[in-house]
């Protein structure tokens, strides 16, 4: 059992396999993509773009497995997840090294990527209480009503490059433990760490056909969205693709959740703890090279807090840019040359549109990694809301700084932005914090916390332009997403009960 084949004599690199009906198999496709180390441009492996027939085979394997998996007792499903979380924890360091090699994150950040997904697996182990229905006795004469939470059938997940461990672990463990079967399409840019997790799931006892994996691009995505046997689709990624998935999947009768783009603000009041706030802004703005959907990409300095800009720039300038596997690295490379070119073009647009480039990371040099996709921490001030660096999600180590005269002005600025993924407020005033959390129109709010991703006991709750669909990943909401409610109204009679008259009304009492 191996999700990546061993190179044969004369074969330059290994190939990533598909998982269909419990078997890791080579794709029959003629279309392949290189998986490239973003720090060195070394080709690590090749990933297939699966054929439509292979997608169909994966879905049909999931449908066949569903017939028996849906009847497996909840406790048995939970025990598989308990074994799975133990295997993930045991192999976390090894998987993190793979993740760093293919995605570029620092090793500590890669370990955090896996750990945040592991927390959801651990939460899946308590699905017995999450999947409880409701019961009301004697709602009418001798009549009881109760609800059952039952699985949907074949579900699918489409995951992004920036969290190749966490996001898949948000999806398939919860879907499977609720009694569904699953078809996963990882990012084609960095699927190797995802496949290592999938191998562990199979090792933990996930039966054949319950979890399947296909790789590819738009053709594979469209095949999933239009397949008649797929009941629900979970997506995390860019706004353009997320909108396409939501519209195409919904059009074909699927239940869809799309978590999409963001422009996350951090509002800083002058009474905030200065050192802690600046450290938080720098970590949230430039960690993971800014390639987090919850990264702080906009700082709004209110009143006298605008005087903190020089100190913020100095702290950012001191960050160490290097390959992710090198000790002490703060900022690793962007995932691809294409990503780097896009970030550089937006920085250039910011300069041309009149923003002040306080810190320029375009010419950063990393000794020994001349071909790496590196961009250093970059800060703009004097930014206007109609500039490209504000209206676009840069997805790189770029922080844009705006100013506001008051908390009310800052709230209005944030609420005018079309995205609603995450926002932070830095203050020591409880009254200001309460006003902010009440009036801000953003799904996830942090108070003195820059990246307010909730723990798995709560649901991820992005809103507005950052989310399509009414239920989010993990937490109580995802159990609702991966199950359907059946309501039963029942009356029982004793064998010797005397029959009453024919009832032609809808009254039961």
Whether 401 contacts 425, CB under 8 Å: no
The number of beta carbons lying within 10 Å of the beta carbon of residue 413 is 18
The separation between the first and the last C-alpha atoms of the chain, rounded to the nearest angstrom, is: 61
Distance, CA of 8 to CA of 26 (rounded, Å): 14
The number of beta carbons lying within 10 Å of the beta carbon of residue 345 is 13
Residue 175, burial from CB neighbour count under 10 angstroms (0-12, 13-18, 19+) = buried
**Strand (E) or helix (H) holding 351:** helix 337-352
Q: In the 3-class helix/strand/coil scheme, how is 256-306 assigned residue by residue?
A: EEEECCCCEEEEECCCCCHHHHHHHHHHHHHHHHHCCCCCEEEEEEEHHHH
Chain centroid to CA 10: how far? Answer: 38
Distance, CA of 398 to CA of 361 (rounded, Å): 9
Q: Where are the beta strands (DSSP E) in 294-355?
A: 296-302
Does residue 483 sit in helix, strand or coil? strand
Does residue 438 sit in helix, strand or coil? helix
Distance, CA of 168 to CA of 234 (rounded, Å): 10
Nearest-10 crossing angle of helices 52-69, 218-226: 40
Distance, CA of 439 to CA of 431 (rounded, Å): 12
- The number of C-alpha atoms within 13 Å of 314 and in the hemisphere containing its C-beta is 6
293 is catalytic: yes
183: closest CA among 164, 165, 209, 161? 209
User: DSSP letter at 33?
Assistant: E
Active site residues: 293
């Amino acid at each position: 059992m191996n999700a990546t084949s061993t190179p044969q004599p004369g074969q330059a690199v290994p190939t990533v396999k598909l998982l269909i009906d419990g078997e890791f198999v080579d794709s029959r496709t003629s279309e392949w993509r290189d998986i490239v180390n973003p720090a060195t441009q070394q080709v690590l492996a090749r990933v297939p773009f699966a054929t439509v027939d292979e997608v169909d085979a994966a879905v049909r394997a999931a449908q066949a497995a569903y017939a028996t998996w849906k009847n497996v007792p909840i406790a048995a499903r939970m025990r598989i997840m308990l074994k799975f979380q133990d295997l993930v924890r045991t192999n976390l360091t090894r998987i993190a090294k793979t993740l760093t090699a293919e995605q570029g994150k620092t090793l500590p950040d890669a370990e955090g990527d896996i750990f945040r997904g592991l927390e959801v697996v651990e939460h899946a182990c308590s699905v017995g209480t999450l999947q409880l229905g409701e019961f009301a006795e004697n709602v009418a004469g001798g009549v009881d009503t109760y609800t059952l939470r039952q699985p949907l059938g074949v579900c699918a997940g489409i995951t992004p490059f920036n969290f190749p461990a966490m996001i898949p672990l948000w999806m398939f463990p919860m879907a499977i433990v609720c009694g569904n079967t699953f078809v996963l399409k990882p990012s084609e840019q960095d699927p190797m760490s995802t496949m290592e997790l999938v191998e562990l799931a199979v090792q933990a006892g996930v039966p054949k056909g319950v979890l399947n994996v296909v790789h590819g691009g738009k053709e594979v995505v469209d095949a999933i969205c239009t397949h008649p046997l797929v009941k629900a689709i979970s997506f995390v990624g860019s706004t353009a693709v997320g909108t396409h998935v939501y519209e195409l999947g919904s059009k074909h009768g699927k239940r869809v959740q799309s978590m999409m783009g963001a422009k996350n603000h951090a509002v800083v009041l002058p009474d905030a703890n200065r050192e802690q706030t600046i450290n938080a802004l720098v970590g949230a703005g430039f960690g993971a090279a800014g390639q987090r959907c919850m990264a702080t990409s906009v700082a709004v300095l209110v009143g006298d807090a605008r005087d903190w800009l020089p100190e913020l720039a100095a702290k950012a300038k001191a960050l160490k840019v290097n390959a992710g596997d090198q000790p002490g690295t703060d900022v690793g490379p962007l995932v691809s040359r294409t990503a780097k070119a896009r970030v550089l073009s937006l920085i250039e647009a910011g300069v041309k549109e009149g923003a002040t480039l306080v810190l320029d990371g375009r010419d950063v040099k990393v000794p020994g990694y001349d071909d790496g996709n590196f961009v250093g921490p970059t800060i703009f001030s004097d930014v206007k809301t109609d500039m490209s660096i504000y209206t676009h999600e840069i997805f790189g180590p770029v922080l844009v700084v705006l100013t506001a005269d008051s908390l009310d002005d800052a709230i209005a600025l944030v609420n005018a932005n079309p995205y609603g993924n995450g926002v932070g407020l830095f203050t020591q005033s409880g009254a200001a914090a309460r006003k902010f959390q009440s009036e801000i129109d953003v799904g996830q709010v942090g108070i003195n916390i820059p990246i307010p991703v909730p723990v798995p006991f709560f649901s991820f709750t992005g809103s507005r332009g950052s989310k399509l669909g009414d239920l989010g990943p993990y937490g109580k909401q995802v159990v609702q997403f991966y199950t359907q409610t059946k309501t039963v109204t029942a009356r029982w009679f004793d064998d010797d009960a005397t029959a009453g008259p024919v009832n032609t009304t809808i009254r039961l009492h």
